[in-house]
């Protein structure tokens, strides 16, 4: 049992440590959410460049990346997705042997208001034609 002169010590210790522990918990939540969004962007970029490499259609590649990034909130849109093929022509947007790159830029808002917004980028690179 606490003695009379130690009664408030536990309350003072809690008052000092609780804000630090809450800040740590909220930071873990923000980091986990940003990490998950980054993994989703990387997967969406890989899926987009895979479709670009095989189908040679930028519109199909964008649509595929948007579907693969479906768990993001707010959702991906076509302006978030940049497709680059240096040797591309209008007749052949992904010539065999050239390198296609899909880059997705995304701004993730803050969940807690402590940090953010976070600018995230996912990138996928693949040879055209397989």
Cα–Cα distance, 75 to 5 (Å, whole number): 58
In the block, which residue shows the tokens 């590649």?
61
The mean pLDDT of 39-66, rounded to a whole number, is 96
**Residue 5 pLDDT exceeds 70:** no
Q: What's the number of domains the chain is made of?
A: 1
For residue range 86-119, list pLDDT tens digits in order: 988 888 899 988 999 999 999 999 988 888 799 9
**Residue 130 pLDDT exceeds 80:** no
Cα–Cα distance, 40 to 63 (Å, whole number): 15
For the chain, the average pLDDT equals 91
Domain extent for 84: 4-127
Q: On the CB side of 36, how many CA atoms lie within 13 Å of its CA?
A: 10
Cα–Cα distance, 82 to 58 (Å, whole number): 9
Q: On the CB side of 60, how many CA atoms lie within 13 Å of its CA?
A: 10
Residue 11: per-residue pLDDT: 86
8-state DSSP, 57:
-
The mean pLDDT of 67-76, rounded to a whole number, is 94
């Amino acid at each position: 049992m606490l003695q009379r002169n130690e009664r408030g010590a536990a309350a003072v210790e809690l008052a000092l440590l609780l804000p630090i522990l809450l800040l740590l918990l909220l930071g873990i939540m923000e980091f986990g959410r940003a990490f998950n969004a980054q993994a989703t962007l990387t997967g969406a970029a890989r899926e987009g460049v895979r479709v670009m490499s095989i189908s040679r259609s930028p519109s199909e590649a964008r649509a595929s990346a948007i579907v693969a990034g479906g768990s993001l909130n707010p959702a991906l849109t076509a302006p978030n997705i940049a497709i680059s093929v240096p040797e591309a022509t209008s007749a052949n947007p992904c010539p065999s042997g050239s390198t296609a790159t899909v880059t997705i830029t995304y701004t993730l808002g803050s969940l807690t208001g402590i940090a953010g917004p976070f600018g995230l980028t996912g990138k996928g690179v693949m040879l055209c034609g397989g």
